[in-house]
Structure 1
């Protein structure tokens, strides 16, 4: 029951989906719930895939991609997109760590955030639209949990950069066993997609190293600019690695 509570705690924090009342809430559970973040990605992927699968029967592929992406954004409340925009604004406009953190805390979106979000969403929608239907569904099923695993890696390896913040309860050190559990969660949809042959194995050969490289690059930026990570950094890593996997899936089909 405690593990089920931890999963629902992660689902409550990262999505707008309703959870049973008996679960309750304790901020201390958030740190323990970090192992379930990729599983939350599986839930979001299932919603996005369901919308895509229905839409593709009646509408062109680009429209299905837009509706699928919109469903994922609605389910999460644009939680990760907001973090990506804030990181673009902070890292683009701040010259000192204090100023970067101050800008990232501001709820208003600036030029860097707006331009970055438009480019990121445009790239994501273009890549999904160019994929065949089954490949797009397979890419969604892998990219959502994988990208959340990459964000979880920052919790596992880096320090939290703020004294306080919305993600502060997540900032306690994550154990190796917890991260391994999170990685196994990602392996399940990966193996399922490969077994069903919705994506070629090259998609993984390209996508996994590329996602890791993108994560290392962003993590290095975070450490250099603000001395660690914030919740916005987690959202940025999730968004960047998600779209990175879509591009790699597309590249695997167009040698």
Structure 2
């Protein structure tokens, strides 16, 4: 299971491909906005809202706790607070809005594949740069969060980079720069507030990077 992290980008390719297929079929019979919402619902059902749950839990913990110990305790609480609800609602709203805009200026199915692959590659790469700080007995990510070799990190980035090349040199440079900047800033932010990462933080990273990919594409593709 420790070696499974290298395949997160491949998992993203499968999920993105299925969502792209659903959107392509729905767009033939439904307005674009409705097709986007239905595709988002399909994605949530497909993953069990696993990463969205991580984003909400991280927002609750870091927003509501005054110490690293308290933040970790809040993140393990199954109840959802104001910070988590607000973050989740705004993230889903932004995702819907940007996807509708991208559907007008680009081939959205390929955008979905790219964002699902790239965001999971970047999120999984955080395992290599920070210590794991959650309770190992009650953690969902413990088997995946112990260690990551340099070879696995390179493999992960190569898999994540492959679909980016479809969008050309400028987009590729922008997304690579985005990934490097995000890893530096997000890692420092987590180290300052938690002393490391948890499974929720990896899920949150995936969601944040996915949204950032959409925004970068929108900037480059909008006339």
TM-score range, shorter chain: over 0.9
Q: Which residue of 2 aligns with 1:175?
A: 149
RMSD over aligned Cα, in angstroms? 1.5
Out of 94, 99, 104, the residue aligned to residue 70 of structure 2 is: 99
Moved more, 143-152 or 202-211: 202-211
Higher relative contact order (CA 8 A, sep 6+): 2
Q: How does 1:21-170 map to 2 (within 5 A)?
A: 30-132=1-103, 134-164=106-136, 165-170=139-144
Distance in 1 between the 2:93 and 2:185 partners? 22
Distance in 2 between the 1:200 and 1:250 partners? 14
Unaligned runs of 5+ residues in structure 2 are none
Q: Provide the TM-score with structure 2 as the length reference.
A: 0.93
**What is the deviation of 1:200?**
5.1
**What is the deviation of 1:183?**
1.8
Structure 1 position 210 matched with structure 2 position 178 = yes
Distance in 2 between the 1:129 and 1:158 partners? 36
Structure 1 segments, 4+ long, off by >6 Å, are none
Distance in 2 between the 1:99 and 1:222 partners? 14
**What is the deviation of 1:135?**
2.8
**What is the deviation of 1:218?**
1.9
Distance in 1 between the 2:26 and 2:180 partners? 32
